[in-house]
Amino acid sequence: MSVRQLWEGCDAAVWARKLDGRTKLLILFLVAVLAIVVDNPRTLFLLFTATLLLHLSARTSIYKWQVLAILLLLGLWGSMFSQALFFAQTPRTPLFVIIEPTMPVLGQITGGLYIYREGVIYGAVQGLRSAMMLSLGLFVCWTSDPRQLLKALITWRLSPQIAFMLVTAIRFLPVLAAEAGEVIIALRLRSDTRVGRKSIIRHLPYIAKPLLARCLRRAQTLALSVVSRGFFLATARKDEFWHTKEKFVCCLLIIFTIGITFSKIVYLLSEQGLYFGNLRIVYDWTKLYL
């Protein structure tokens, strides 16, 4: 699979490709809200699992799974490890001591370096938030034709210029990846270095300029093409058909997200003194699951 194919939504299951752009964007937005609102580690974990299940059911190819796995692992473990080391809140319970405070020089400078138990959990929560969004974002990216998303944004009366720019950013992701690959190959051939990870790392600092030059050239072509086609002069499009089933699911999800946000807000207010006895069940539920 080429680098370009890796970032394109060409091999996903039919149902995922057929989903309306609006449905995908709406779900992405609602999950983003949930990722902010929910604090309970287990609930976040379940949401994250749900996004992975979406990939499974969309039959994401093994190469894409590899990319997804690497990105998720970097995010999750990076967040957990950094928070475990530098967790600044209390209470914090050291699990391991990496640098003893009594150690000469380093110990005195750092005041001791520990792996904190609460930091691992905190890092996991933050990591799950970003992992969930990354996973769902890639799902949308890998199952959607950019035109689908463009249509969705325009139907929502978003300014065509902004919609176009947003979609172009997504559309250019695979192109950019492919071009970066080409530039690295070219650099490698010129310097006559062997194939391997080391050679890629060696050439990384030099890819920015040629990549930027190519991007500018492509942007110029794109701009000319858009202007010549009169893209932004088009009158407001008629509402595209949105499948009733998808609409229904979206409505349910909106109600669910509003409910959860409401629960969280009233719970936080209750902690600040604005408590209503009738909402006790909501407070309890929020404390236990959100």
Partner 1 sequence: MSKIKSIIAIVILIISWCLMFWITGNRTPWQAFSSTDKGDGVSVFLGDIPSENYDRMGFTKGLIEYIVSKNAWLVGTDRGELFLFDNSGKQIWKRSLGIGKLVSLCVSHDEKITFVGEQSPAGNLYAIDLDGGDILWKFAAEKVVGVEPDKRSYPSIVHICIDKDDNVYANAYRFVTAKDGGRGYNGKAVAFNKNGEQLWQFPESENIDSWINWCDVNDNNDKVVLSTSAYEIRPDMKYRDTMYLIDKKTGQLINSIEVPPVAPFENTVMRGSPNFSEDGEFLAAACSDGRGMLFDAAGKVLWQRELSKPAQIDNVWINASGRDGFAAEAGVIFTTINTFNRENWQLPTPVEHPSNNSMFVFNYDGTFKYKYRALGTMEQIDFSNNMAACAVGRNVRTHNYAAHGAVVLDLNDGTELNFFHTEGPLQAVAISSNGKKIAGIEAPAVTPEGKIIGAYRLHIWQR
Beta carbon of residue 143, minimum distance to partner 1 (angstroms, whole number): 19
Question: Which residue from 58, 76, 132, 141 is in contact with partner 1, where contact means CB under 8 A?
Answer: 76
Closest CA relative to residue 59, chosen from 132, 139, 131: 139
Question: Which residue from 15, 29, 63, 231 is in contact with partner 1, where contact means CB under 8 A?
Answer: 63
Helix runs in 87-116, H state only: 106-110
Q: How many CA atoms lie within 13 A of 161 on its CB side?
A: 3
Question: Which residue from 10, 73, 223, 255 is in contact with partner 1, where contact means CB under 8 A?
Answer: 73
In this complex, which beta carbon is closest to partner 1, that of residue 80 or of residue 154? Answer: 80
Stretch that binds partner 1, among 21-29, 69-77, 160-168, 255-263 (CB under 8 A): 69-77
Total interface residues for partner 1 by CB under 8 A: 39
Q: How far is CA 228 from CA 103, 153, 224, 225, 278, in A?
A: 69, 22, 6, 5, 62
Distance of alpha carbon 132 from alpha carbon 108, whole angstroms: 39
**242 touches 22 (CB < 8 A):** yes
Contact flags string 127-146 toward partner 1, x per CB under 8 A: -x------------------
Distance of alpha carbon 98 from alpha carbon 101, whole angstroms: 10
In this complex, which beta carbon is closest to partner 1, that of residue 123 or of residue 160? Answer: 123
Question: Which residue from 29, 77, 206, 248 is in contact with partner 1, where contact means CB under 8 A?
Answer: 77
Distance of alpha carbon 220 from alpha carbon 22, whole angstroms: 29
In this complex, which beta carbon is closest to partner 1, that of residue 5 or of residue 270? Answer: 270
- Which residues from 34-53 bind partner 1, rule CB under 8 A? 41-42, 44-45, 48-49, 52
93 binds partner 1 (CB under 8 A): yes
Stretch that binds partner 1, among 19-27, 115-123, 153-161, 188-196 (CB under 8 A): 115-123
**249 touches 23 (CB < 8 A):** yes
Question: Which residue from 30, 110, 118, 250 is in contact with partner 1, where contact means CB under 8 A?
Answer: 118
Query: Residues with Cβ < 8 Å from 77, sequence gap 6 or more?
Result: 127
Q: How far is CA 80 from CA 35, 96, 114, 128, in A?
A: 17, 15, 13, 10
Distance of alpha carbon 55 from alpha carbon 190, whole angstroms: 40
- Which residues from 144-203 bind partner 1, rule CB under 8 A? none
Helix runs in the chain, H state only: 3-6, 14-18, 21-37, 41-57, 62-86, 106-110, 117-143, 146-155, 160-191, 197-203, 208-229, 244-271, 280-289
81 binds partner 1 (CB under 8 A): no
In this complex, which beta carbon is closest to partner 1, that of residue 128 or of residue 133? Answer: 128
Beta carbon of residue 45, minimum distance to partner 1 (angstroms, whole number): 4
91 binds partner 1 (CB under 8 A): yes
Question: Which residue from 6, 32, 121, 266 is in contact with partner 1, where contact means CB under 8 A?
Answer: 121
Place of tokens 């309970």: 40
Q: Binding residues for partner 1, per CB under 8 A? A: 41-42, 44-45, 48-49, 52, 62-63, 65-66, 68-70, 72-73, 76-77, 90-93, 95, 117-118, 120-121, 124, 128, 270, 273-275, 277, 280, 283-284, 287-288
